[in-house]
Structure 1
Amino acid sequence: MSERTQKLLGAMAALGLGDRPQSIIGGKLIDGAGADVTLVDPFTEQVLLTYKDADTALAIKACDAAQKAQPAWAKGISAAARGQVMQDIARAVLANAEPLAIIEAIVAGKPIRDCRIEVAKVAEMFAYYAGWADKLHGEVIPVPSGHLNYTLREPLGVVFQITPWNAPIFTAGWQIAPAIATGNGVVIKPSELTPITTVALVKLAEDAGLPHGLVNVLCGLGPTTGQAAIEHMAVRKVVFVGSPETGRRVAMAAAAALKPAVLELGGKSANIVFDDANLEHACLGAQAAIFSGAGQSCVAGSRLLVQRSIHDDLVEMLSTGMKNIKLGDPLDESTEIGPISNARQFKHVTGMIDQAASAGASVLSRSDTLAKGYFVPPTVLRGLSNSSKTAQQEIFGPVVTAIPFEDEADAIALANDTSFGLAGAVWTSDVGRAHRMAEAVRAGTFWINSYKAIHVSSPFGGSLNSGFGRSSGTDALMEYTSAKSIWLDSAPKPRIAFGYVS
């Protein structure tokens, strides 16, 4: 057994988990019965652990457990009591931050300093939605008929959530917290490549007072485990975070079962720099936008649009600065960029760089790299148009395509010339221009002289190939509830008539 596997198992043991990934259903850790799934360390390329796909039977069991536990959570205790349990979960997450961060760093390949921040953000998510648990209410509507008409916001029942490999525990908290704050039961399937921290999060939540069975985790594959959960009669909504290709399949499966979906998909976000911007700040922002997390972020600023008069200067500044970014062991405190999370994605990223070079791109990258691991050094592609493959397709790695533009109108046209609509940013000292760009660029999130500022209190989502629906802020509360309209006739003589009352 390798030293890194030993560290992983030690962190798992500290969180009350076994020696392999297991689903958690009805408060119990359960082995799957399907095909073998192997977890590979992206830093060493060595096998960490192997487990069994949950498969159809466990998916059904998980949905049944959530359906059984949900009514008591929604109606059996007060909304304030739900909020208190969620506050306790937040404290439990913070108290166990280090083993959670260690697992995330080893399995997902994320620098441990980033993992610690994301674990703290998960605690913040539960605390934020804990405060909303007893503040969600309906309205009284002044209908013209004289009836008392009021609305209730009711939980959907059971929701099925599918989360990705690039930010496992972050997206688990992002989805679970608003769902349970509004009284729902949850079945969640993390990526089969990074399932452990989601199981650990739910185990901690149950230890903190969350009813067993309210949230169930399925460790397994999409075509088997995921499909069975989507089809289960108890599931009322499907939430998916991942690639557009898989998102389409999930949406089609949900639609076939007449179930709504929320999709958080990819992006090809434009990071726009005008010649009146502070170039040093814009360069630092561009680094954070694309190189942090090894570029494995849906909001990554993967298209750097730079006004032509400063294009060469900014690209030179960026390519010089990226040589100082430290690649290395995710468990090393000084590592700034870890490896690509898995072999399949590594092959995709390196293939996209090779394709860009074949298409005539000038590839600016570091010549030094590590002898092992799925490492891709920070890379800038220049000399390609916005219609090129690398400017239109999501790379999901530390690779940015730099493209010059002429003026404001040209920048807007280039920014919107994509099938995505997730995020974007502008760097300028002209306040009026900043607001014009924010309004004109098609994006669910847009930053001015900043990048990647995200908080649970602010709505997040996109349009077109970036998906639909919102999964944070108060908008998420609406996604996980439905409105019921109630009419009370208080007149001495009931106003019953053919047709609509008026």
Structure 2
Amino acid sequence: MENNAAENLLAAFAHFFPNAKTIGSFVDGDLVEGTGELIQLYDAATGKPSLAYKDGGAAVVELAADAAQRAQKQWWALTHAARGRVMFEIARELRKDTESIARLESLGSGKPIRDCRGEVAKVAEMFEYYGGWADKFYGDVIPVPTSHLNYTRREPAGTVLQITPWNAPVFTCGWQVAPAISMGNAVLLKPSELTPFTSLVVGLLAEKAGAPKGLINVLAGLGQTVAQAAIAHKVVKKVVFVGSPATGVRIAEAAAKRVLPCVLELGGKSANIIFADADLKRAALTAQAAIFAGAGQSCVAGSRLLVQRSIYDEFVGMIATGAKKIRVGAPLDDATEVGPINNRTQYDHIMKMIASGVQAGATLAAGSAERSSGGYFVSPAVLSNVTNEMDVARTEIFGPVVAAIPFDTEEEALNIANDTEFGLAGAVWTNDVGRAHRVAGQVNAGTFWVNGYKTINVASPFGGYGLSGYGRSSGVEALYEYTQTKSVWVETASEPATTFGYL
């Protein structure tokens, strides 16, 4: 071990898995060590090697698929209300150990500890929300023009594969798992190989709360081995993916070979539109949170800042001044507001994008193009004098970098906002009620805020347009994603008419 990072991470993990000497997959109630190639992790705060563990490989998928199939039958056999009670108990288990889960999340992902505490609380809320839906989501009786009673049943898909990213491991785990099991499904969860830790804990706590062994199996390993084997497995009936568009395309192609439905939550290049009549102080504070919180590692980040030209210099100056005051530091420091970038590959991409923006003619009003001497730290960066044709305005940077673009009219703002392949989110700031609704109705995005940004709740549907994916991952709409409809016809006539056949 090069430093204490591995020891600290393993100690935090051992709080939940006391006998663990390394990381493995959580399958059928046990931690199963992988048999594949060694996956080396790095401490985001120092850039030095941390833990290493073995890829689960295809063999672990076979074990997990068998366990999931058995557990799903047990789970679906329970009453809907009984499943809901177990889900509320999962939430209680999460709340009881919030600090330990948050510490593990911070150590494993590089996220500030204060952000992690909030995300664990949100995951508990997800299980409560969908636990409440377990006995309230039902079919319909359809008034067909015959003598039949026709009704629909909402039935589970069976076993679903969920592939989650490294930027918000525990949050996306709960975001996907809770609605899936609420509707009676079992789960094969494949977190990013860079951040499997808290997802493993959610699987453990779910069983502690009363879920059947094997209902939630967490597969620790690489996409090209574990995820590929899982997509190809006959037990898997649906695939849910959160991540980059490029990877999403490959997953959709693999799923299509088995005619598997998918939910894809992909990237974004969201426009945060500021009109001159807005409350500029509040808009400036919120615009900073929209892009710099979480070190900008968010699919809905307000990465394109569209500002009306009459206030452009003033407003961009406010953002740049604020950016320089944001506290960048170690993940476990309670004072840290922006931690390091999760991994070296992403860090290199962000620094390359900043440099390319300056080279293309943008001005670096805040931040630095210089690389950090230790760890993957990026100071909040503001690029001004950006045009929407520049790469920094078209490519997802996924870091604390905002591209500020001027506009003159409402029509121009809408044209710029929609001149992108993405369509995940957006916002408008104005005191003109009519304009607010016009813009909200015309920007192509799955989530849109008026005089706000990044308010997300499990009760509200979330998903994208265009290259940002399809399907919805929260709200009641997620329950449709995790069920299939069966139409049942019951003849009620005492002497039903027959139109064909002989005796």
- Could you tell me the TM-score, scaled by structure 2's length? 0.97
Indicate if the aligned counterparts of 1:40 and 1:107 stay in contact, CA closer than 8 A: no
Kindly provide the amino acid, as one letter, of the partner of residue 414 in structure 1.
I
Match of 1:221 in 2: 222
Distance 2:158 2:189 in 1: 14
Distance 2:253 2:500 in 1: 40
1:448 positional shift: 0.6
1:8 positional shift: 2.0
Match of 2:197 in 1: 196
Match of 1:109 in 2: 110
1:104 positional shift: 1.1
Q: Which moved more, 1:488-497 or 1:132-141?
A: 488-497
Indicate if the aligned counterparts of 1:158 and 1:236 stay in contact, CA closer than 8 A: yes
Q: How does 1:344-363 map to 2 (within 5 A)?
A: 344-363=345-364
Match of 1:25 in 2: 27
Indicate if the aligned counterparts of 1:45 and 1:374 stay in contact, CA closer than 8 A: yes
Indicate if the aligned counterparts of 1:12 and 1:19 stay in contact, CA closer than 8 A: no
Q: How does 1:278-427 map to 2 (within 5 A)?
A: 278-366=279-367, 371-427=373-429
Match of 1:130 in 2: 131
Match of 1:490 in 2: 492
Kindly provide the amino acid, as one letter, of the partner of residue 326 in structure 1.
R
Match of 2:16 in 1: 15
Match of 2:153 in 1: 152
1:371 positional shift: 3.5
- Aligned residue among 450, 453, 459 for 2:452: 450
Question: C-alpha deviations, 1:138-183, integer Å up to 9, x for none?
Answer: 0000111231110000000000000000000000000000000000
Indicate if the aligned counterparts of 1:272 and 1:306 stay in contact, CA closer than 8 A: yes
1:16 positional shift: 2.2
1:42 positional shift: 0.3
1:384 positional shift: 2.4
1:262 positional shift: 0.3
Gaps of 5+ in 1: none
1:136 positional shift: 1.2
Kindly provide the amino acid, as one letter, of the partner of residue 196 in structure 1.
F
Q: Alignment length, in residue pairs? A: 498
Match of 1:184 in 2: 185
Match of 1:468 in 2: 470
1:370 positional shift: 5.5
Q: Which moved more, 1:238-247 or 1:10-19?
A: 10-19
Indicate if the aligned counterparts of 1:39 and 1:107 stay in contact, CA closer than 8 A: no
Cα distance change, pair 498–278 in 1 and its aligned pair in 2 (3 A): farther
- Aligned residue among 427, 430, 445 for 1:428: 430
1:360 positional shift: 1.2
Question: C-alpha deviations, 1:247-275, integer Å up to 9, x for none?
Answer: 00001000011101000000000000000
- Aligned residue among 49, 65, 68 for 2:67: 65
Distance 1:481 1:126 in 2: 17
Indicate if the aligned counterparts of 2:382 and 2:401 stay in contact, CA closer than 8 A: yes
Distance 2:372 2:21 in 1: 30
1:227 positional shift: 0.4
Distance 1:27 1:10 in 2: 20
Kindly provide the amino acid, as one letter, of the partner of residue 91 in structure 2.
A
Distance 2:397 2:498 in 1: 61
Match of 2:480 in 1: 478
Match of 1:164 in 2: 165
1:236 positional shift: 0.5
Question: C-alpha deviations, 1:193-226, integer Å up to 9, x for none?
Answer: 0001100111111111111011101000001110
Indicate if the aligned counterparts of 2:230 and 2:236 stay in contact, CA closer than 8 A: yes
- Secondary structure at 1:39 match in 2: strand
Q: Which moved more, 1:97-106 or 1:309-318?
A: 97-106
- Aligned residue among 14, 32, 54 for 1:52: 54
Distance 1:123 1:214 in 2: 18
Kindly provide the amino acid, as one letter, of the partner of residue 433 in structure 1.
R
Q: Which moved more, 1:105-114 or 1:364-373?
A: 364-373
1:369 positional shift: 8.0
Identity of paired residues, percent? 58
- Secondary structure at 1:438 match in 2: helix
1:428 positional shift: 0.5
